[in-house]
Amino acid sequence: MEHDSTRDTARPKETSSPHSTDQLSRIPHLHAVVLAGGSGVRFWPLSRELTPKQMLNVFGGTSLLARALHRITPLLEPGNLHVLTSERLLPELRTHLSAEASPRDLLGMPEFLAEPSPRNTAPAIALAAAYLVEQDPEALMIVLPSDHLLEDGAAWEATVRLACEAAESGSLVTIGLEPTAPETGYGYIKAGRALPGLEDGGMRVHAVDRFVEKPDETTAEAYLAEGGYLWNSGMLVARAASVLSQLRSAGRRGMTEDSRHGEMIAQIAEEIATMSPDEWVSTSARERFEALPAVQFDKAVLEISERVTVLPVSLEWSDVGSLLSLGGLAPADERGNVLVGPAVDVDSHDSIVYSSGRLVATLGLADALVVDTADATLVAPKERAQDVRLVVEALKAAGAPEVVAPRTAIRPWGTWTSLFKAPGYHIKLIEVLPGKRLSLQSHERRSEHWVVVEGTARVERDGEVVELAANESTYITPGARHRLANSGEVTLRVIEVAVGEYLEEDDIVRYEDDWDR
């Protein structure tokens, strides 16, 4: 059986109405590069190494990544949607999107690209830009985070179109959000003079006076009062060739330690981009990419280049930067508490309690954060929300499996949940959606015992096909080619007991698969 392995309260509205697929509405040569390699350590225990924040669906039933893809797809020509991630996450993201996103809505699934090694955003964006230049010398690229909440619809479309118009002349266009509060968790951009000829309705492209690091509260309040300061959204629109040329220019100027590496980053990115994406994770490509400094694109280019502009917009947005964003999922009670899921509180105030399934009871807490999942619970002061990564580091050092993956994994055909694991055996609940089936596969080092507890199972085993109803069972020997399918009209639920000396998920050989994994 396969089982592949003190802010943030904004709730941007994202429309669910279908977009026009008229080719005239699409922007020629525009490619979207969605950055999806982040680990989401500040969102543990909801996020894990193999299911990071961008794959979570707690903010409305659809994952942040799927929302990001659907938001930009209506403006792209077919084949121009790219997801840049890590080698480790690539198969997980493929499987996740097979379950979360409709290929029809995305005009086919996106192209998945695995960077050779995590080296921060400057090398990653440079590699994507070099790859796009190889594919389309006229390429415009929009770089999008995969883990933000953002308003879509007409205002979003107008923003992208105006940014693309500004980028055609070689400008690196950043998108700045009009601040609505003195946020200390965001970087800021100070807008300069408006540029002539680059406007649409009330929107105008501006020169950039300066980039500002995350401020303290007093400074953030001063920015809000003064005006002209924008939240740095992390979104960028530029010609792919301009990204590389501005990297080189910043490197030659060498004004800062981070920017002086620009020429080397551009050169290595261009060399690797001549390879097939499958070769990007080869030893030679990995060694060259790992030699690059881990530098942010803002530091390497945007804060240095004179070709940077900013487009101020009033879109509703949140970068979902910490677990405090869970406070936007429900209204606060009379004591300022936000309770999400099966939770009961007595005499607490100004706390966030989130439960993904089981009952959580709290008593007398103040300014606390409680996040409970099936296999892990976090309790912390709200003011320490940004420090959750320290807990993850401690868990890694202890070898805790709860850092890597959750107990329940979403798959294109349904879900699987680990119920109990011990040396020599692993018990799981397999849930298969009506009409879905797993791949035809075999395992060499384990047997599997299946008991149907609900629904009707169609079991293929070494060419033999049988149907099993509730309270019936079967046995899969090591090496047997087998497949499980749901032939009924309700969700199929099967208890699986895997027995063997080796129970890891890489003990699998696929022969046929509906999702081309």
Enumerate residues 6+ apart whose C-beta is below 8 A from 329.
58, 59, 338, 340, 354
- β strands within 213-363, DSSP E: 229-239, 308-313, 317-318, 338-340, 343-346, 352-355, 360-363
Enumerate residues 6+ apart whose C-beta is below 8 A from 201.
158
What pLDDT, on the 0 to 100 scale, is given for residue 20? 42
- From CA 415, how far away is CA 339, in angstroms rounded? 26
Helix (H) or strand (E) holding 390: helix 388-397
**pTM to 2 decimals?**
0.87
Residue 48 near residue 407, CB atoms below 8 Å? no
- 3.90.550.10, 1.10.150.120, 2.60.40.10, 1.10.10.10: CATH of 29-318: 3.90.550.10
CATH 3.90.550.10 residue ranges in the chain? 29-318
Residue 74 near residue 500, CB atoms below 8 Å? no
Give, for all 517 residues of the chain, the pLDDT tens digit: 444 333 333 445 554 433 444 455 899 999 999 999 988 799 999 999 999 999 998 998 789 999 999 999 999 999 999 999 999 999 889 888 888 776 666 777 899 999 999 999 999 999 999 999 999 999 999 999 999 999 889 999 999 999 999 999 999 999 999 999 999 889 999 999 999 999 888 899 999 999 999 999 999 999 999 999 999 999 999 999 999 999 999 999 888 888 999 999 999 999 999 999 999 999 999 999 999 999 999 999 999 999 999 999 999 998 898 999 999 999 999 999 999 999 999 999 999 999 999 999 999 999 999 999 999 999 999 999 999 999 999 999 999 999 999 999 888 899 999 999 999 999 999 999 999 999 999 999 999 999 999 999 999 999 999 999 999 999 999 999 999 999 999 999 999 999 999 999 889 999 999 887 7
CB burial of residue 82 (10 Å; 0-12, 13-18, 19+): buried
| Residue whose token pair is 């990115």 | 269
Which of 385, 352, 384, 346 has its CA nearest to residue 371?
Answer: 352
- From CA 305, how far away is CA 431, in angstroms rounded? 53
CATH 2.60.120.10 residue ranges in the chain? 412-512
- From CA 205, how far away is CA 210, in angstroms rounded? 15
What pLDDT, on the 0 to 100 scale, is given for residue 24? 53
Q: Classify domain 412-512 at the CATH superfamily level.
A: Jelly Rolls (2.60.120.10)
